[in-house]
Amino acid sequence: MGTLFDYIAENPMVALIGVCEVGFWVLLGAGLLARYALRWRRVGAVLLIGTPVLDVLLLAAAVIDLRGGGEASAAHGLGAAYLGFSVAFGPSVIRWADLRVAHRFAGGPAPVKLPKYGALRLRREWREWGRCVLACAIGVAVLVLLSFVVGTPERTEVLWSRWIPQLGLVTAAWFIFGPLWTMLDRRTEQADSRN
């Protein structure tokens, strides 16, 4: 267990990413609790809207770390990827949770169950892949920003050689196992022919 704490102590960006992830879920839970259990709609809205503040804090910390002489590391690349996915998927996660809590505790409408096959499923897969592309584009933009802030290629080499290709790989894999897989699935064709 000591090695994990040593690793976190040596890589504060990793700890900050963890804090931001936990903070996202804490703000989400507190916002939904305030909105539905306590009936404090404005407080709930403020808490839910506050989740992007964590992303800004993460970006600011990465910039400060690198401007202060820190060398770009895998933690900075992970932070950029986390930031991209948080921005691209965070609002839909909040809507997903809000809909379910509203239904369960406030008499809201039941969530619509997505079909496993067919045009609606394919449309959803394209939408989610679009979010993935957006997330990876934001991640690459953050990596470029961090590289620009540092200004020396030797200190940012890990961002260019490792993280940008990995984000490209994630985008390609998501396409293959998302929209392409759904399009090629015979059950999608059969569901569409029945409609």
User: Residue 131 has what pLDDT?
Assistant: 98
Displacement of CA 160 from its chain's centroid (Å): 21
- What gap in Å lies between CA 147 and CA 140, rounded to an integer? 10
In the chain, count of helices (H) and strands (E)?
10, 0
- What gap in Å lies between CA 132 and CA 155, rounded to an integer? 28
User: Residue 190 has what pLDDT?
Assistant: 65
- What gap in Å lies between CA 83 and CA 116, rounded to an integer? 30
Residue type, 85: F
Among 11-15, 104-108, 123-127, 188-192, name the one with the lowest average pLDDT.
188-192
User: Residue 62 has what pLDDT?
Assistant: 84
Displacement of CA 126 from its chain's centroid (Å): 17
74-88 confidence digits (pLDDT tens): 888 888 899 999 999
Global pTM value:
0.83
Q: Report residue 192's pLDDT band, with 50, 70 and 90 as the boundaries.
A: low
User: Residue 116 has what pLDDT?
Assistant: 83
User: Residue 1 has what pLDDT?
Assistant: 52
DSSP string, 70-138: PPP-HHHHHHHHHHHHHHHHHHHHHHHHHHHHHHHHH-PPPPPPPPSSSHHHHHHHHHHHHHHHHHHHH
From residue 93, how far is each of 21, 89, 119 by CA, in Å? 13, 6, 22
